Structure formats: C-alpha cells, structure tokens
Amino acid sequence: MRIILNNSSMVPIYEQLMDQIKNEIISGSLAENEILPSVRSLSAELRISALTVKKAYDKLEEEGFVVTVHGKGTYVAATDKQLALEARKKTVEDDFAAAVQKAGSIGLTKDEIMEIVRILLEE
C-alpha cells in the first residue's frame, strides 16, 4: 500500500487515508481478501495517531470496503467494483450540480457555463 498524506490539507487525515485505500481497492492493487496493515503498524509508518487509522478503517467497514475480523485483522471485502465506481461518479456529479447551481445564482447562461467547461477541458 502506498499512502501519501498531506498534513496541511483541509481534508481530514482519516478521509485522505480512506480515499487512498478506496482507490487502491477500486483499481485492484489491493485484492479481495488481502489483509491491510495493522492499525498500529500503519500509524507508525505514516506517523499519525493510531486512532486516526482506526477511524479510517471503521468508516471503510461501514461503507463495505473492508471487513475487520476481531483479533485477526482488517481484510479487503468482496466489493462490487462497478458499484464502487458508480458511487464515485455520483460524487463528481454532485460537485458539478453544485457548480451549476452557483453559476445559475450569479446569472450565467447555459452557453456561458458550457464555455467554461470547454475551456477547462482544453487545458
């Protein structure tokens, strides 16, 4: 597992950790049933508190990405990759929706919005 954390980011550390583990699961670099590092060893490696790692693991379990077997460790769950990808697509759509709404609130027209998107895509 290759995790890079940004300590000065506004995104909480446990969320950064969750996102990166999710990415590895979706991309397949973490295979189903593979064991994740123990909470303490990952916290030592990343130099963050163990509770932060535990929080990330707990939330990943809530979302069905991993399973923790008490006394044994945390494993990558059998996830439906298609479903996981859909979920991520949904968050992108939500971000777009918010941007469109903001654009509407300051009176940008549909063409103007499309123009912004076109410029962004060309960059």
Which positions touch other proteins (CB under 8 A)? 8, 10, 12-14, 38, 40-41, 43-44, 47-52, 55
Nearer to other proteins, 13 or 76 (CB): 13
Closest separation in Å from C-beta 40 to other proteins: 4
Closest separation in Å from C-beta 62 to other proteins: 16
Q: What distance in Å separates the CA atoms of residue 102 and residue 121, rounded to the nearest whole number?
A: 19
Q: Phi first, then psi: give them for residue 7, nearest 5 degrees.
A: -75, -20
Half-sphere CA count of 70, side-chain side, radius 13 A: 0
Query: What are 7-16's contacts with CB under 8 Å, separation 24+?
Result: 13/48, 13/52, 14/52, 14/53, 14/55, 14/56, 14/59, 15/56
Nearer to other proteins, 69 or 119 (CB): 69
Nearer to other proteins, 48 or 76 (CB): 48
Closest separation in Å from C-beta 34 to other proteins: 19
Closest separation in Å from C-beta 94 to other proteins: 15
